[in-house]
Amino acid sequence: MLKGLKGVVAAQTCLSLVDGTNGVLLYRGEYANQLALKKSFEEVAYFIWNGTWPSEKELQSLSNMLRLKRNLPNHVKAVLDCLPLNVSIMSALRTAISALGTENVKWKPTVQEAIEMVAITPTIISYWYHKVKGQPFIYPREDLGFVANFLYMLKGEEPNAVHVRALETYMVLTIEHGLNASTFSARVTASTESDMVSAITSAIGTMKGPLHGGAPTGVIDMLNEIQEIEHAEQWIENKLSNNERIMGFGHRVYKTRDPRAEALRQVVQTIGKDDPWLLLANQVEEMVIDHLEKWKPGRKLYTNVEYYAAAVMKAIEMEPELFTPTFSASRMVGWTAHVLEQASDNTLYRPQAEYIGKVPV
């Protein structure tokens, strides 16, 4: 028995290839790290859903639909307004997405449903983020692209173009990543011939768990503790000698450099050439990798996407409670694409459990 289904192939997919041995992430046969540096969020979303790159007309049509579906339905707003203010953004998002499940949402799922769910997710996140802080809701703008509008709704000011590009790169890199725990949850729910909303609600509930959707706040805490590069050597040695984990290094899948981290590193270098905090991040990364190889030879512990995601989030002044919701806003594309793929050739997931309890004598 393979506990947790580790290594078990449970589905076939055309959406992405995660090659941890060689440090490769492909979206439908193309390198994700290259797409993140060249393509918009809307272009990659279209590609993931449809398998082809959009024409200018098709891209405009998708962009228009994403803009038109940003507004919060009254009944969803009413549901959110009933929640206590100590509810996390992820819990609020899960509840609000579930409230979209009217009788009009049925089997089989459609690309139109996927577009609507992706479009409204940043609005839900922004609504609850401001409500908890006692701030007025910032309505979405139809003249801004997906990522720029998300930043605008969070900050209430004209988004900085460099910050938009940095966040867009991160969100493209986290759009899809194979049969991870939340994606598996979505496909299992879809396999029962339930609806798109139910499947995505399952995925959000899974992403909410810290073992899967844990945000890169630990990396920020680490760099804030080190403060100066002169302190890094001793800090790293203390951590490793006490057998403590250093956040932002190592990955369950990648046994070489995480290709997503490589792309984000390039972005960080463009947005913060003179930023002391980002310079510290670059220097600490090199030192940690050297020390990990010395302390744990052969373990192949390299920088993962969380490390440079933290650098990007810090640079664009994104608050920690928004990290996992932002991750979810991008992964919504991958989740919905997997639901569509599951529906195209559906088989009910029905694994067995090995009974290890008592039996009658």
Annotated catalytic residue within 42, 113, 177, 251? 251
Q: Per the residue annotation, which of 42, 306, 338, 341 is the catalytic one?
A: 306
Residue 294: asked if its preceding bond is cis (omega within 30°), the reply is no
What HEC string does the chain produce? CCHHHCCCCCCCCCCEEEECCCCEEEECCEEHHHHHHHCCHHHHHHHHHHCCCCCHHHHHHHHHHHHHCCCCCHHHHHHHHCCCCCCCHHHHHHHHHHHCCCCCCCCCCCHHHHHHHHHHHHHHHHHHHHHHCCCCCCCCCCCCCHHHHHHHHHHCCCCCHHHHHHHHHHHHHCCCCCCCHHHHHHHHHHHCCCCHHHHHHHHHHHHCCHHHHCCCHHHHHHHHHHCCHHHHHHHHHHHHHCCCCCCCECCCCCCCCCHHHHHHHHHHHHHCCCCHHHHHHHHHHHHHHHHHHHHCCCCCCCECHHHHHHHHHHHCCCCHHHHHHHHHHHHHHHHHHHHHHHHHCCCCCCCCCCCCCCCCC
In 247-257, which positions are buried (b, 16+ CB within 10 angstroms) versus exposed (e)? bbbbbeebbeb
Catalytic site residue 212? no
d(CA 212, CA 217): 14
Instruction: Look up 177 and say whether it is catalytic.
Output: no
* Residues designated catalytic: 251, 306
